[in-house]
Structure 1
Amino acid sequence: MAATPSFPYETRLNVLHKSLEVIDEKALADACEFTWYNQTLCKVNDSVVRLGVVQGEYHWHKHDQDEEFFYVVDGLLLIDLETRTVELSPRQGFVVPKGVMHRTRAECRAVILMVENAGIVPTGSSTSHP
């Protein structure tokens, strides 16, 4: 799925690697030319691991049926919740529970990994600001 005017992010839901293949996250991130990029790397059981190369703000949203795990590889990721902002540095992770309104943002380029249900809609089920 390519970027659209309503969600100007480069989101690729195709599974890039199968089981038993080596995944070179650094090479993929280094080659990325997009400001906000999301690529599904692999499937693990009923979940997927996605690479995010991000800078700027994602829109406010929530996932009514799914949790999301964010893990920072490089840079600094901020996760805004309705009541607080969580700051993640490299080698730190955080789970956003299902139904919780949130947005991710990075003032400078950050590289992250996300683990989520394979059927999740990355843009969320609601775009209202808290």
Structure 2
Amino acid sequence: MEGKLGHSTLIDVSKIMASCKEKWVNYSLAEVNDCLVRVGILEGEFHWHKHDKEDEFFLVIEGKLLLDLEHETLELLPNQGYTVPRKVIHRTRANEKTVVLMVEGNTVNPKGD
């Protein structure tokens, strides 16, 4: 599944989850106004980074997301979310397969600025 899906498209996240064999992947699902809605399927850790212009919202669908901030680590469980403000250094980690819905500005570089 490449790129984002168009408007008026049924999105079935459970099918995306079932078909994913990779340990770390990020799919753009839709663009809503000036924001991207993405699903991330994660296992392992991402590098420390920040986004200079965009906030980043994470909502755990399945699994457990560890969200490392500069001075603390948050543990997000299913149905829990958190917004990382722009310019805040952070990284995400998951010790087991974790599925996360993300909302961020459509100009975001997913790997950080």
Same fold (TM over 0.5): yes
85, 96, 113: which one pairs with 2:101? 113
Instruction: Note if 1:92 corresponds to 2:77.
Output: no
Tell me how far apart the structure 2 counterparts of residues 24 and 14 of structure 1 sit (CA, whole Å).
15
Counterpart CA distance in 2 for 1:101 and 1:64 is 10
Specify the alignment match of 2:3 in structure 1.
14
Q: Classify the secondary structure of the residue corresponding to 1:29.
A: helix
Which of structures 1 and 2 has the larger relative contact order (alpha carbons within 8 angstroms, sep 6+)?
A: 2
Flag structure 2 segments of 5+ consecutive residues without an equivalent. none
Q: C-alpha deviations, 1:12-60, integer Å up to 9, x for none?
A: 87212x2211100010011001100000000100001001000000000
TM, length-normalised to structure 1: 0.84
- The ranges of structure 1 where at least 4 consecutive aligned residues each deviate by more than 6 angstroms after the TM superposition are none
Normalized per residue, the structure richer in strand is 2
In structure 1, C-alpha distance between the alignment counterparts of 2:2 and 2:55, rounded to whole Å: 17
Residue matched to 2:58 = 70
Matching residue of 1:61:
49
Measured on the aligned residues, the alpha-carbon RMSD in Å equals 1.1
- The number of aligned residues is 113
